[in-house]
Amino acid sequence: MKKNAAAGMVLILGGILLLLGACSKNADSTASAGSSGGGKEISVFTWGFPAEKLAREEQVRRYMELHPDVKINLEVSPDYDRKLATMLASGDGPDVFETSDDWFHLYNKELADLRPFIQRDGVDLSIYYDRSLSGFRLPDGKLESLPIGLCPFALAVNKDIFAAAGISIPQGPLTWDDLIQAAQAVTKGTGADKVYGLTDHWVWQQILPFYYGGGYYNKDFTQLALDTPESIKGVQFFADLMYKYKIMPTFEESSGLLAEQRFFGGRSGLMPINLWDIYNFVQNIGDSFEWDLVMMPTMKESGLTPVWSIVEGYGIWEGSKNKDAAWDFIKWATTDSESLALASVAAIPPTHDAASIFTAYDFGAPLNLQVFIDTIPNAILSIPGGPFAQVNDTINEYWDTLKQGQGAADVTAGVNEITARARPILRGLGIN
């Protein structure tokens, strides 16, 4: 079943269009979605992987078909962050631009409050998952974006590696005890050809401090919490995966081989995977081995299964002269079933009734996509970005030394030291 990239893109887009045909029969908001946008031209600025780029293009194409009096100039940029910052600083921002809840309101002054539009048009916000909206709402109630999709993690499993060892990874709940036992059974070999049960990935250091009830910050992000006993326990567990259980490569062992390359090459049994990765995995694995998706593991001691996730959204630039037309597009893009089907290429639709659309996709491999839906109740925002970048960069210095084995036997001193260094940086941000 190995396909080249072009054929794979045609397959995915074909699946999208088939779903759209089904969704269009049930879409009841299409006719009025652009009622106040007559004769307008708006700009929409987004990021996106290849499949997501095609989906954004199809969204815009479909919207203009339904609203011939509106012209949309779409740009999907591979240099999104830098270009958006430049556009906004120069006072020439796009009417609509893509946002992420891990920005932590980085552009709250540049984004219009959507509440007046929502109230005017009677949009029912209860259709969205709570997790979809919470990161876009400011303490004063301002809503700076509406969600277009959730992006949680699951685990990709190389079924052939485990089958050769007589092990079947369960499709249902998986504990870390289960994972470690299975991963140790398949970790073998030496040097560049060594097979590891678990692949190294940046998401582990983002999420493991939460597994015992800790985290990086307190609930309102005004204080660091990485040096609490619960967080330290999670950091120690990260070190133990490499140096105690030896199921995940250390910095030295992983040098020169990206995590994805290790998994694609059949040298890792399990690897974290996000929705935006699926197309890439399907294309690179082809028919070289059987693989599937399972849920992220639960920590038996705490009962917790925190799952890293961001929410992508659309907001209106405060300086836009076409806010009504921009709003009409956003309302359609975030509530209409046709549009949500398109967004499903790389994200779970953010509404309760549309999430199942995602599981109908044919990505070219028989995958248990339901696991992504099942993770939604555990989805959290682990580390905010935006204004917190300098704090996070400082903390990441510690992770780099830990992966090299420094202080791996007992992480307490290292965690306390880096938290003490990062704390005044956080205070300097004036977050309140």
How far apart CA 314 and CA 100 sit, in angstroms, is 8
Question: Structural domains in the chain?
Answer: 5-151+310-365 (3.40.190.10), 152-308+380-429 (3.40.190.10)
Q: pLDDT 10s digit of each residue in the chain, 432 long?
A: 333 333 444 444 444 444 444 343 333 333 333 344 446 899 999 997 776 787 789 899 999 999 999 999 999 998 998 999 999 999 999 999 999 998 888 898 999 999 999 999 999 999 998 889 988 998 899 999 999 989 899 999 999 999 999 998 877 789 999 999 999 999 999 888 899 999 999 999 999 999 999 999 998 888 999 999 999 999 999 999 999 999 999 988 887 788 899 999 999 999 999 988 888 899 999 999 999 999 999 999 999 999 999 999 999 999 999 999 999 999 999 999 888 888 777 788 888 877 678 887 778 888 999 999 999 889 888 777 777 888 999 999 999 999 999 999 999 999 999 999 999 999 988 765
| Contact present, 224 and 383 (Cβ < 8 Å) | no
The pairs formed by 261-268 with CB atoms below 8 angstroms and a separation of 24 or more are 262/196, 262/199, 263/156, 263/158, 263/199, 264/288, 266/158, 266/160, 266/161, 266/195, 267/193, 267/194, 267/195, 267/196, 268/158, 268/161, 268/195, 268/196, 268/197, 268/198, 268/199
Residues 6+ apart with CB under 8 A from 11: 3, 362, 363, 364
- pLDDT tens readout for residues 247-291: 999 988 887 788 899 999 999 999 999 988 888 899 999 999 999
**Count of other CB atoms within 10 angstroms of residue 75:** 15
The predicted structure's pLDDT at residue 431: 67
Measured CA distances, 382 to 211, 283, 363, 428 (Å): 11, 29, 28, 21
What is the pTM for the complete model shown? Answer: 0.85
In 187-228, alpha helices (H): 202-207
Q: Which two tokens stand for residue 288?
A: 């070289």
Whole-number pLDDT of residue 293: 95
Q: How much is the pLDDT for 166?
A: 93
Beta bridge partners of 147: 313
- The distance of Cα 209 from the centroid of its chain, to the nearest Å, equals 18
DSSP H helices in 267-406: 278-285, 323-335, 337-343, 355-359, 370-374, 389-403
pLDDT, position 54: 79
Q: How far are the Cα atoms of 112, 148, 199, 262, 323 from residue 116, in angstroms, in the given order?
A: 10, 19, 47, 50, 11
